[in-house]
Amino acid sequence: MEAKKLNLTLNIWRQKNSKSVGSFAEYKVQVSPDASFLEMLDELNNTLELKGEEAVHFESDCREGICGTCGLVINGHAHGPLPKIATCQLHMRNFKDGETIWVEPFRAKAFPVIKDLMVDRSGFDKILQAGGYVSINTGGVPDGNAIPIQKEVSSLAMDAAACIGCGACVASCKNASAMLFVSAKVSQYALLPQGQPERYRRVERMVKVMDDLGFGSCTNTYACEAECPKGISVTNIARMNRDFMMAKIKSKEVEV
């Protein structure tokens, strides 16, 4: 037997491009509680297109919580009200019949709106291009036991590497800071032997690009960790700050 459909009111942000003024548009929908949030938007777009109206533009790809392109602000929360999931993993059964839902794009100066709910997050790519890699010659592939790494350290590195670069940390921060993202990408290398030769150059370069792109500063409200779909820890920010200070000290030593 098919579950009773939910009657919902959607207030969705519509904006033609980054230079135009956007506003909320109201839509009434009926949707199955078993549908995902993105499936609900698909159904809405089918209805709009049948009426000859323009569909709501939003991004998605894997729809499995892996890629992070589906990021939306739903009722004031990046990725919606449930913790540690991406928007594509949110289902309509988490909303009540008759509820009003507000849907917005990730908002930040460094994430300009492309159209409606789509934003340009290429700033993250530029940060990674500045140092989010290991460029030294690491030689052939060694035996897995040849480089001893403590279990706790390897676990921390893997936890940092779980960051999917969705931008929820930026969207949830009152300063639109990218510190959680950058610190995760710094930490995943800083904790492992292969990342040591470029450790301090890496953090300097990535932080510089982050600042140049207009991301805000961190004021330790921990909203980024709370909204992160992968639960990336703010302890990575502390590690990055220590590495950044050490990089400056080492630069001074070289100058002397």
Q: Mean pLDDT check: name the lowest of 9-13, 208-212, 251-255.
A: 251-255
**Strand stretches in the chain, DSSP E:** 6-14, 23-31, 73-74, 77-78, 100-104, 113-115, 118-119
Determine the pLDDT at residue 140. Answer: 75
Which residue, 168, 180, 144, 157, is CA-closest to 72? Answer: 168
- How would residue 138 be classed by pLDDT, with cut points 50, 70 and 90? low
CA dihedral 131, 137, 141, 145 (to 10 degrees): -80
Type of residue numbered 167:
G
- Give the 3-state secondary structure of residue 173: coil
β-pairing, 6-14 vs 23-31, is: antiparallel
Quote the Cα angle for 205-211-245, to 5°: 55
Q: Is 232 in contact with 161 (CB distance < 8 Å)?
A: no
Q: Is 186 in contact with 239 (CB distance < 8 Å)?
A: yes
Checking if the pLDDT of 254 tops 70, the result is: no
β-pairing, 100-104 vs 6-14, is: parallel
| Percentage, residues of the chain above pLDDT 90 | 88
Determine the Cα–Cα distance for residues 127 and 120; give it in Å rounded to an integer: 14
- DSSP letter at 82 equals S
Determine the pLDDT at residue 137. Answer: 76
Checking if the pLDDT of 256 tops 70, the result is: no
Residues 156-203: pLDDT tens digits?
999 999 999 999 999 999 999 999 999 999 999 999 998 999 999 999
Q: What would the mean pLDDT of 149-155 be, rounded to a whole number?
A: 93
- How would residue 1 be classed by pLDDT, with cut points 50, 70 and 90? low
- Answer whether 0.85 is exceeded by the pTM: yes
Residues 222-243: pLDDT tens digits?
999 999 999 999 999 999 999 9
- How would residue 136 be classed by pLDDT, with cut points 50, 70 and 90? confident
Which residue, 1, 89, 80, is CA-closest to 39? Answer: 89
Structure token pair of residue 216: 């805000």
- Counting Cβ atoms within 10 Å, is residue 70 exposed (0-12), middle (13-18) or buried (19+)? buried
CA distances from 149 to 145, 156, 198, 237 (A): 9, 11, 18, 22
Q: What would the mean pLDDT of 119-124 be, rounded to a whole number?
A: 97
